[in-house]
Chains A and B, each alone.
Chain A
Amino acid sequence: MADIVPHKDIAKHSGTARNYREQATHLEFEGLDAPVTVVLRSGERGTGTCLGCYDAPCMWIELSSAVLPKTLMAFPRDPDPRVCPTRAITWNSAQQIVDVSPDLCIGCGLCAARCPYGAISITSDGTAHVVSDDPDSLAVEPHSMDEFGGHPIPTRTGAIGQPNSSPLADLPTTITNLEDSARTVLVRNLLTQCGLPCLTRRRGDQNVRMDGVFAVDENRVGVVETEFGTSVLESPRSLLEAVAVLHGRYDLAVYAVEPLSVVLHLPNNRSEYFQVIQDIDYVLGIRCRSVTVGALAALMWRFTTLSTLPAGLFSTQPGSTDLLVGIRETVAPGFPDVEPYPASYRPVK
């Protein structure tokens, strides 16, 4: 009797437990506490509801979406495919929906941004809320397995919430209290959701001399260093090391590497940080970029894509350290000047 038995939560097939009557083409986000409006191909509108995806994009991220140069395909990535940094979202196999634990949820909005069916919004309590009762009766019995053609890729408008609302405003405290692995997952998934598919190194792997790599385009690879403590000045040095390793061991041209620091706060203008970045640019011709977690999250909350990583985005130099200027000039004209928390877009004066 050597039977292998299935796990109840494993997808038996692709698809969803329920479907909308027509394909979802658009999602309208109205901010915190407001349910998401889904627009179907027929024009019908209503409140989004959980369709019970067996491969739950709100729970699992596809790491293979990071298409890296051949020499980097062996990058020893963290294999953890979870979306939620704190494992707050779980599959309820009895009801065929996802549940969110309010005690664990930090309200980052990743699940809400990733749900293709508009089922998740963020509350002003700072937690994700899943609608599963289909209040506008949009859902029907599932099509057959053969008919499932993959999750739709609806357009998204509006915003998950105001950038300075509670979950993002609390990010400094939240991140300070997170385990290191949760922080890494958060950064990886924020970058990925903003169009820069990212792989991070496995925890404790000291052989990998960088925190992560991300795909920019067919000619460029990004390397990311995260620094959430007070040693922000370490970050440009670490980026230089990472670029040297990518060149020396993975045969990448220096000009093909985009270095990016992800920090919690931008250091103040008197700090050497911006001067060192300028020195590196001047001597080596390498432009180290900087972004805060708050800025990344705010960009994701408005579904901004960074996929080409244009010149000028997240670039700083002494006297010009306002990330919002570059954001508005390159990827999001009219992006609101509302900082999630002090020093998330610009140094504190």
Chain B
Amino acid sequence: MLRFPNPGSTINNFVAVYRAAINQLRGCEVTLDNLLAATVRANLATSSGHSGHEAIARSTRPDRSKDPLYNQLKMYAELFRALGWFHPTDRRALINRFTLLGEQVAAAGPHYSSLLGECVLGIAHPSHTLTIKGDYNLRPFSAILQTMLQCDGALSRDEMIVGPLSVSSDRTHKDIFNVASRINELRRHPDELYAAMADLVHVRGVKKTTFENYTRWPIAVMRDLGWARKDKLPYRDSNKTFQVHRLTDVGEAIAYRVSKSADLRADQVDTLPTQYKSALALTTHYSMLSRSGFDISHVQNSLSEISETYLKALERLEIDPEQPLLFSPFQSMTTTDIADAFNQATPVQSVSRTNSLDTSIKAGSGTGVGRGPRNHLFVAPNFVDRVPSESKAHDKDLSEELQKLRRTEGSVQAATAAFLEAHSKDNQMAFYPLVSSMFRIIGFQCDYSRAGVNYQRWDAWIITKGTAIPIEIKSPTEEQFLSTKAVRQALENKIVLLSRGGLVTKAGVSTLIVGYKIPNERSEMSTLIDDIFSTYEISIGVIDLRVLATLAIKAVCEEITIDSNQLIRLRGFLDG
């Protein structure tokens, strides 16, 4: 499948990043760090929960491949190049310069949509200015629009993936017809498309979510340009419907224009003599601008002078002059041909201006990489002898289950893994009692709130040392991975308990979150836990099922448990 990077979801921001860059760096060669600095200065960059220079500081890493902001700007740069707004310099692939076409985008101000649409249609592979993986002979947006026309005016995201974005060539009408025919067949039943996607995933060795990510930018473009809107379609042989992106009137008009246009590609233009290429480049460039609402009156005389050469070029290409042309010179011709046609000088300034990154902002320069040092939020349990607490009916069965797991699996680690797997599909009705039972096994008085008791806003509570610890529980069916949503709810639980009473608690006592798994990227949760503590002096502790199971197994097998003084003040992730 043709891959589109996804630096962000709105075209407004996308264009704003380019505009910020060109306004600050006009005339320069542009590295990714220059682009990054320009984006930050324009308040368009965030990372690790921060903005501005703090975002850069927290993003920057010695290994740039792990630098989220840098990678995001890399994606922007790739798309700018695809759109003809950046051209590569001769020196290195990651150094670019602004193009005349990009200048026009900036000059359009808020009226950039039409020109953006032309540039989007102008993306075509192969291209002299952008190398991509895969052997594609494809003008992707043209392929998508024309396929939509033949598929009831609409395509779903998955249909785009298996259809026009996975076809190796769209050079002929038959190519499009074949794609559309296949899509229409797949609409018989949901299983058909499902199988087609599964096949693609298997063949390419790429996850489905990755394919989906590759469509985000093109879908956002079509949405924000007003070419498509969301709709639903029924399957032919099923009661189910599926979400599609349907052409609007504007999108349909664009699609029809595209279908009737002569689609001129780089390999055809390469065969032309230089003067023909120049005439073609100039005429099509300014025609594109004219269609996009620019006033080309003062270049009209110059264009008239080359019109004869332009017509000869079309004749050589066997294109009817009356037929609309689908061609964007800055996106299809070599940089040398462009420079010849537009008599352009190369930039004189390189990257030494103050627009470079402040070199004092390095990884670990005080604010820390990523979310900053977070070690204080990963807390190993302090173990003490277990004092059995009051048990309930289910506790004995659970204790025996845990003991058996420990015996059969051979280690605590293996036993907890098996326990996790066994409870991976628990809903609230199963998970809440399970959690409270496990706390009792560990040695704490614990119970869970019953449905319908609205004043008990917390899902469970522990009573220890005469004080209540509210617990927010997220079952695996609610959330596989805990998130900031649970943090907010845990905070609210504590506030409500302090305000309304019902159970005795104190301000310094923690509020807990128990869930199936903690997220792989824990930074947002941990930063928020720190923010909440620094602001409200409320401690939020997080225990996932693996750690809880570890504690419970140790309790039944080794008669040890977590120190209640630690639990009552837990802040961060209990790390068993």
Residues of A within 8 A of B (CB): 1-10, 60, 73-82, 87, 91, 93, 179, 181, 202-209, 234, 236-238, 240-241, 243-245, 247-249, 254, 272, 276, 278-280, 282-284
A sample of 11 cross-chain residue pairs with beta-carbon separation below 8 angstroms, ordered by A number, consists of A3-B298, A10-B111, A76-B44, A87-B226, A203-B13, A204-B10, A207-B47, A237-B489, A237-B491, A240-B532, A241-B531
B46 touches A76 (CB 8 A): yes
Query: A1–B306 Cα gap in the complex (Å)?
Result: 12
A279-B495, A284-B536 given; A7·B9 CB < 8 A: no
Known: A7-B107, A7-B295. A279 touches B13 (CB 8 A): no
Q: How many Å lie between the Cα of A283 and that of B16 in the bound state?
A: 42
| A9 CA / B111 CA spacing, docked (Å) | 7
**A207 adjacent to B48 (CB under 8 Å):** yes
Contact A74 B302 (CB under 8 A): no
Contacts known (A5-B104, A203-B10); A243 close to B295, Cβ less than 8 A:
no
- Cross-chain contact of B51 among A5, A207, A278 (Cβ < 8 A): A207
Q: Smallest CB–CB gap between A202 and chain B, Å?
A: 5
A279–B343 CA distance with the chains assembled, in angstroms? 70
Can you name the residue of chain B whose Cβ is closest to the Cβ of A72? B51
B109 and A247 contact, CB distance less than 8 A: no
| Contacting residue for A249 out of B43, B226, B531, CB 8 A | B531
- Known contacts A2-B342, A207-B51, A248-B534; A73/B500 CB under 8 A: no
5 closest A-B pairs by CB = A74-B52, A248-B531, A204-B9, A207-B46, A279-B499
Bound-state CA distance A278–B495 (Å) is 10
Chain B residues lying within 8 Å of A249, measured Cβ to Cβ, are 49-50, 54, 527, 531
For residue B504, CB closer than 8 A to chain A, the reply is no
Question: Are A76 and B45 neighbours in the complex by a CB distance under 8 Å?
Answer: yes
Q: Is the CB of A237 within 8 A of B488?
A: yes
The answer to whether A60 touches B528 (Cβ under 8 A) is no
B13, B298, B496, B524: the one within 8 Å of A79 (CB):
B13
Nearest A residue to B534, CB-CB: A248
Residue from the set A76, A179, A236, A272 with the largest chain B CB neighbour count within 10 Å: A76
- B111 and A7 contacting across the interface, CB-CB below 8 Å: yes
Contact status B51-A181, CB under 8 Å: no
Measured between beta carbons, the chain B residues less than 8 angstroms from A75 are 43, 51
Known A93-B293, A241-B488, A247-B531; further 11 A-B contacts with Cβ < 8 A = A5-B299, A75-B43, A78-B12, A82-B110, A207-B49, A207-B50, A209-B528, A241-B484, A241-B531, A279-B500, A284-B495
Kindly state the separation between the CA atoms of A279 and B296 in the bound complex, as whole angstroms: 64
Q: Determine if B481 is an interface residue (Cβ-Cβ < 8 Å).
A: no
List B residues at the A interface (Cβ < 8 Å): 8-10, 12-13, 16, 40, 42-55, 100, 103-104, 107-111, 223, 226, 282, 286, 289, 292-296, 298-299, 302, 341-344, 454, 457, 484, 487-489, 491-492, 495-496, 498-500, 524, 527-528, 530-532, 534-536
Q: CA A208 – CA B108 in complex, angstroms?
A: 29
Name the residue of chain B whose CB is nearest to the CB of A204: B9
CB pair B9–A208 under 8 Å, yes or no, is: no
> Given contacts A5-B295, A77-B43, is CB(A244)–CB(B107) below 8 Å?
no
Provide the residues of chain A in CB contact with B298, threshold 8 Å.
3, 5
> Once the chains bind, are B51 and A74 in contact (CB under 8 Å)?
yes
Contact B343 A79 (CB under 8 A): no
Number of A-B contacts (CB under 8 A): 168
A residues within 8 A CB of B289? 5
The residue of chain A having its C-beta at the shortest distance from the C-beta of B296 within the complex is A5
A153 CB → nearest B CB, Å: 23
Q: Which of B50, B100, B223, B495 contacts A2 (CB 8 A)?
A: B100
Chain B residues, Cβ within 8 Å of A79: 12-13, 16, 42, 44
Of listed A80, A87, A276, residue having the most chain B CB within 10 A: A80
Most buried by A among B52, B293, B531: B531
Contacts of B43 in A (CB 8 A): 73-77
CB-defined contacts of A203 to chain B, threshold 8 Å: 9-10, 13
B491 CB → nearest A CB, Å: 6
Residues of A close to B40: CB separation below 8 A:
74
- Return the contact of A282 from the options B499, B532, B535 (Cβ within 8 A): B499
The 8 Å CB contact of A80, one of B12, B44, B107, B111, is B12
* Residue pair B293, A240 in contact (C-beta under 8 Å): no
Question: How far, in whole Å, are A208 and B47 apart by their CA atoms in the complex?
Answer: 9
Q: How near does chain A come to B288, taking the closest CB pair, in angstroms?
A: 11
B294 touches A241 (CB 8 A): no
A238 touches B488 (CB 8 A): yes
> Could you tell me if A4 and B491 are in contact, using CB atoms closer than 8 angstroms?
no
Within 8 Å CB of A241, what residues of B? 484, 487-488, 491, 528, 531-532
CB distance from A105 to the nearest CB of B (A): 15
Complex Cα spacing A60 to B54, Å: 31
Chain A residues lying within 8 Å of B500, measured Cβ to Cβ, are 279
- Asked if A283 contacts B111 (CB within 8 A), the reply is no
**Cβ of A279: which chain B residues have Cβ within 8 Å of it?**
495-496, 498-500
Interface centre among A91, A206, A207 (most CB of B within 10 A): A207
Q: A208-B51, A238-B488 are in contact. Are A1 and B107 (CB under 8 A)?
A: no
For B524, the chain A residues whose CB sits under 8 A away are 206
The interface residues of chain A lying within 8 Å CB-to-CB of B108 are 7, 10
- Complex CA gap A89/B563 in Å reads 65
